[in-house]
Amino acid sequence: MASILETFPNLKHQEVMMAAGIVIAASFLLYQAYARLFYSKIEKDKKPLPKANKGILETLRMWAGPKAPFHFLEMAKELDSFIYELNIPIPGHPKAVVVSEPEDARDILNDRLTDKPLALYGKLLEFSPTKDKVIFGMQADAEWHRRRKGTAPAFSQKHVRRMTEVAVKHTEKWLDEYLSPLVEKHQSFDVANQMMKLLLKAFCETALEYDISNEDIDTFIIEWDLITREYILKSTANPFRKYFTAILPERRRAKQATHAVHAIFHKVIKNYRALESPLEGTVIDLIMKNPTFKTDDELASEIFAYIVAGHDTTAMSITWTLLELGKHPEEQRSLREAFSKVESEEWSNSELLKNVVREGMRLHPVAAITVSRTIGRDMTTKKGNYFLPKGTFVLLPFYNIFHNDGVFEDAETFRPSRWENPTELMKAAFMPFAAGKQGCIGRMLAHIVLHTVLARLIQKYDFSVEEEGYAEFNLILNSVGLRMKATRARE
């Protein structure tokens, strides 16, 4: 941008912006016209996909908005089909289709030729230290494999047990030092914020052998929010923003935010190097010893992936489940009764607790519309018999899949008992950690931490909702403004 303005000093910023916009938009439209013509021949005899009735701009605005998961669900209900085509051109893909029928979504994720569409995941790379590769923004090539295989041993049973013990230690500390005084003063607390802090502290200690300061925790939470707002929400609505960082103050501020969080990742690296005898096989140990990473920025990018994927997903899942428990005191009582019959080590194995967590994650899946794929071969969906040509961009919105009344009776109701006898379709549908080769590497850890932390909170305290707040989608489904009060549970 700066160099264009230097070469043509008479041009104004807005003129350059407009010209660039026109060139890029024209290329999109040309590609789209070509793809439509090409595929219309192949699809002549196939059953047409239901089409969303929103225009390109309206679709973009909806997708980039904080309420996107709800809109995708509304669309499915309006069309009376959980598979439908979106009216939006995605570079490199003949069409964009929402697939939220459980079996088809699972088939797509499990297909070995399926991969991640960089048109969407590439956004995650933009704010990473290297700006090119981060495990969760990569396609499944040889390098991704080396990264994935390199870190996988950190999630073995032995390490997950160790990490869980630290999460329990921090939870007990939080209950004694933070919650207990609030209970005495009858004060409420911001649940999401507290859970993020708790999980970030525990994750840094166990996975990264790093004692993160409270100041860095606050910086991370504030700056990370700014980053996702600019790079995910706003840049989805307007993909041209990245070309105009110099003249967009919010974009410049978000760029500063990336520097602030990158500085934390570099502290993690420095800290590891200063350790006399680092623990073997932790996430940081395996990343630091992996020869795939050549520079500190590459190391920092991978650390970034694990910090981001590892703490707010788990923290938010706990937050959403606590909200439901706050609204259903009878479920809290049943859990406490179940815990009273077994030793504390057994609490997290309680079937009742597992069903509560499943139901919390079903109603409020954090990866609500996060997962998308490019299909690697022509396929026909089981439900509806729709043809999807190779290369189709598919959005797999878990929010739709988990809120499908055809799969989950009375889907909007929090009812943990539905998991006592789940149907095969319910089991196929429930995949909050995704599935297939690029599914969540940390799912075992997340699963155990979720259960152990929640068990400790509920065993000691009764939680009630003071302010419910609202849901906001921004990379993950966030609970914003939820305030709860706790009272000591009767023994």
Binding site for ligand HEM (CB under 6 A): 135-136, 148, 207, 305-306, 309-310, 313-314, 317, 366-367, 370-371, 432-434, 438-442, 445-446
Rounded to a whole number of angstroms, the minimum distance from the CB of residue 80 to ligand HEM is 27
Torsion angles phi and psi, residue 115, rounded to 5? -145, 175
Distance CA 476, CA 408 (A): 22
CB closer to ligand HEM, 350 vs 372: 372
The residue (of 152 and 246) whose beta carbon lies closer to ligand HEM is 152
* Total residue count of the chain as it appears in this document: 491
Which is nearer to ligand HEM, 307 or 465 (by Cβ)?
307
Q: How far is the CB of 309 from ligand HEM (least distance, A)?
A: 3
| Bridge partner list, 86 | 96
Closest to ligand HEM by CB, 88 vs 307, is 307
Q: Point out the annotated binding site.
A: 440
* Smallest distance, ligand HEM to C-beta of residue 307, A: 8
Q: How far is the CB of 260 from ligand HEM (least distance, A)?
A: 22
Nearer to ligand HEM, 415 or 443 (CB): 443
CB of 271 to ligand HEM, least distance (A): 18
Identify the CA nearest to 81 among candidates 431, 404, 391: 404
Minimal distance, residue 308 CB to ligand HEM, in Å: 8
Annotated binding site for heme: 440
Closest distance to ligand HEM from the beta carbon of 120 (Å): 9
Count Cα atoms within 13 angstroms, Cβ side, for 370.
24
β-pair partners for 85:
51, 97
| H helical segments located in 127-213 | 142-151, 157-174, 180-184, 191-208
Residue pair 80/51 in contact (Cβ under 8 Å)? The answer is no
Question: Taking CA 288 as the corner, what is the angle to CA 282 and CA 292, rounded to the nearest 5 degrees?
Answer: 120
- 353 or 367: whose CB is closer to ligand HEM? 367
Inter-residue contact 301 to 317 (CB < 8 Å): no
Indicate the helix (H) or strand (E) that contains 465. Answer: strand 461-467
Closest approach, Cβ 469 to ligand HEM, in A, equals 19
Please, what is the minimum distance in Å from the beta carbon of residue 438 to ligand HEM?
Answer: 4
When the beta carbons of 137 and 389 are compared against ligand HEM, the nearer one is 137
- Burial (Cβ within 10 Å: 0-12, 13-18, ≥19) of residue 242: middle
- Residue (183 or 307) nearer to ligand HEM, CB: 307
Query: What distance in Å separates the CA atoms of residue 98 and residue 73, rounded to the nearest whole number?
Result: 10
| φ, ψ at 229 (rounded to 5°) | -60, -45
Which residue's C-beta sits nearest to ligand HEM? 442
| C-alpha atoms less than 13 angstroms from C-alpha of 382 in its C-beta half-sphere | 10
CB nearer to ligand HEM: pick between 50 and 416: 416
Q: How far apart are CA 485 and CA 194, in angstroms?
A: 13
Long-range contacts of 84-87 (CB under 8 A, 24+ apart): 84/49, 84/50, 84/51, 84/52, 85/49, 85/50, 85/51, 85/52, 86/52, 86/59, 86/395, 87/51, 87/52, 87/54, 87/55, 87/56, 87/59
Q: At what angle do helices 296-327 and 329-340 cross, to 10 degrees?
A: 100
